Amino acid sequence: MLLAVDVGNTDTVVGLFRDKDLVHDWRLTSSAHRSGDELAVLFAALFHEVKREPGEISGVAVSSVVPELTSAYEGLCDRLFGKKPLIIDYRAVPDLKILNHDPATVGSDRLVNSVAVAEKYGTPAIVVDLGTATTLDVVGPEGEYAGGIIAPGIRTSAAALFRRGARLSRVEIKRPEKWVGRSTEESIQSGIYFGSVGVVDTLVRGVIREMGFDAGLPVVATGGLAEAIRDASETITVVDPVLTLEGIRLVWERNSG
């Protein structure tokens, strides 16, 4: 079985694959202070809950944008599984043509998302990843990574608003019943939600226009808030909550032959 780990700035998503089937998955908090030993205890408990044994793991692949946690997961793999993980970067995807000026600077999550969207939905395509940052990744007609966009994430923007506005209350990020709020809380909720949807739709339309893509191409949303904005978005065509895990699996398979 393959253990696929997607380490983000806020959350870490973990998937357990038997061949191509995702049989278990977990969402954890990305704590940069966790050591490999602490992760080993945590993962042993997770495996116990689903009646799995560490010895069932034949490989581990890690996509990480948090360097401190990358080394911690290497320690976890050595202690709990006795294996060296595949740490994904641009060198792990030699068949993916990367058009960025410096391929080494492209986040591994963006690379695996591009691999997955091309495999599952065809090309050209756009991935919208709604996490700590809102990122758009553009995959060209030949499957090449054509570049992308990085904007403040929905929760990141909301947190900045609450931090700087002494009298502004925190609200749940969900679709409000009306655009025009009748209270401060309703107004904030409308601004955060519909403003975020507007940012995504504007960016997607700009990419389509600049790249000369035909309308109707796959625009695949993933990340923690993808489901929350899908109904209001005019550009997102599908939500795939496990796109990144699928990309990690595909990269692992291509590297393991």
Strand order in the sheet with 133-139: 145-152, 133-139, 125-130, 219-222, 238-239
C-alpha distance from residue 253 to each of 173, 246, 256 (Å) = 37, 11, 5
- Dihedral sign, Cα of residue 117, residue 121, residue 127, residue 131: negative
Cα separation, 231 vs 106, whole angstroms: 30
Cα separation, 184 vs 255, whole angstroms: 52
CA 252 from centroid of its chain's CA atoms: 17
From the list 11, 37, 89, 109, the catalytic residue is 109
Cα separation, 162 vs 7, whole angstroms: 26
How long is the chain?
Answer: 257
The encoded tokens of residue 76 equal: 């976890």
CA 130 from centroid of its chain's CA atoms: 7
Cα separation, 183 vs 173, whole angstroms: 16
Known catalytic membership, residue 25:
no
Closest to 202 measured CA to CA, from 136, 131, 132: 136
User: DSSP labels for 113-128?
Assistant: HHHHHHHHH-SSEEEE
CB 135 within 8 A of CB 141: no
- As annotated, the active-site residues are 109
